[in-house]
Structure 1
């Protein structure tokens, strides 16, 4: 594995593990004989190009192109269907690779993972050691690119420039100069903002950084201000660590693949019974259940059921889950089923103690409900008032609303 060090001024704080075309990379990892050939992966409709290899792009194939047109430009094009299950496994492997080195990991998108490297000096005293550890933990067949920098955007830009299986480090002092010749297409902006940059002839990050920040914000708003900071190498966006709550997963490989609904229902019922029989689940309540079915050609069906009221009763859980399974439309014979219990509560009984214990007990129940709502809606649903400067003469500075974190 090759390493490229551009600056030795300051140890980077963030790493970006990047696989630009993850679905294609996952397919090529499973079919190495196709490497170097013009290959395209279709979108869900099977009518357009979702991802294309460098050989295909060199012969006129473009992402979003109608498949018939792509084949017209490149007759030897190898067309592959997207396999969501295979792509998801590759994305999980990338997250696991980063988590093997740092406890602070964020998956920004499938194939784009960030890791906060602060505090790892004792384990990895040199940059080449930590870079090598990250690359060694990732599957070599995916061609992972690694970028190291002091800011999130610069790390991602470095990863996009690095060769597959290699790493590139950009120091803070030289970040702005290094970013200047790169295209503005790297910026996290919507299509309208990109069009505005194109109309003004702002093709590179250096062109954007040369403008006053207030002028960019006047046209593009807060997103424009963040893009300007990113172009200057001053992106302050932190890594938001993934929260891994306690979960219980049961899986079943089916041979031969299941085609009858009754067989699918029976297998899911068995998985539910096995999950509830786990010692770690005994006597506890379940807030959410995720059902997953993978077809023979690796298409994925998935449903999550968040319960109105947590329960540990098998019959009540099955009553909530069965309609989703019966209404499912699978894309083919089922080769694998999995059931995941999530949002497990620490409570081992019902509400009987509520009238006998107050104070701390009510706070525990509030925390339980806050966690339940956060799981259901994907974000904090409760807020509390936080004192900032109670004696300030300006009322707006005295207190603020903050997300309630149980």
Structure 2
């Protein structure tokens, strides 16, 4: 009898393991197909803008392409997408275009009039350096970090995000700005100049205190008094209301404190990331497929647009965050990621070859209150999708 029970238990265990392997293989299949589609689509995009000097894809609205030059904050995302595609498949044609579009961003290493230098340079040159070790890219990144550092005011303790709307904001800092601190931390490690790290940590710490509400949702913009260094106005500029949770902003916060923990091992950042993840995953307005509406408090829910870009940033962050938590949380995070990736890779969100202005994903929302890029493809949605696919593939 005992032998029989043991035999049955062993068969049951083998069945469970096999089921897990089939599921893992199935997700691998989803990822491989997603990469295949993305490479084909992105090569069409690369060729479309190849001879348009200095131009980058931005979106596709009303059946028309919209593009930008390197000054637009999104200029680093398309070359970054090409780097992830090259990393996956080592296609020499993709490498050619990754280098071409990365070089188009180089002039932004001298940019001092906005905070987006990290997005511009670290997504393009940063990935290029990581994948190829190209020495020339180091100078570009270090120069860019020095430019970004000029926007730091020691009295306020933060990097200033914007210079406009001075009638309302004295020293505006947006939640997105957390994403640019990774460039500063890289510069500190590379140059051994600790001033870069001090700036990044000061910004991260002060944002942790002032940007988040008790439920761990975040404001979009916090403006600081330049004399006292304390907040005088808190708003959600691109959200439904000042007290609402703009979905992409929540994902920026999750991603930011996750990599800040990776780079510093400061447990405060890990706890913050876990709290934000809990807020998002358990939010009553989060859809079952975990592709958020453009704002978690949008009054039109469920009759309003989703934001695939918020989902891709969230997925990429959760994959990394799962490396730093216990087995129970890891499983929870990865179950969410599984649903997100499968949904994004489906026909509902993945464009057919040659459609959607040659962008990979559909159904993102840029700035709903300003009627800009609503239910449209966005270059950063594609970028963080490919980053999430890359991270996930390495972990399976």
> Shorter-chain TM-score: which interval?
under 0.3
* Higher-Rg member (1/2): 1
TM superposition score normalised by structure 1: 0.19
Q: More strand by proportion, 1 or 2?
A: 1
TM superposition score normalised by structure 2: 0.20
Q: Does 1 or 2 have the higher relative contact order (CA < 8 Å, sep 6+)?
A: 2
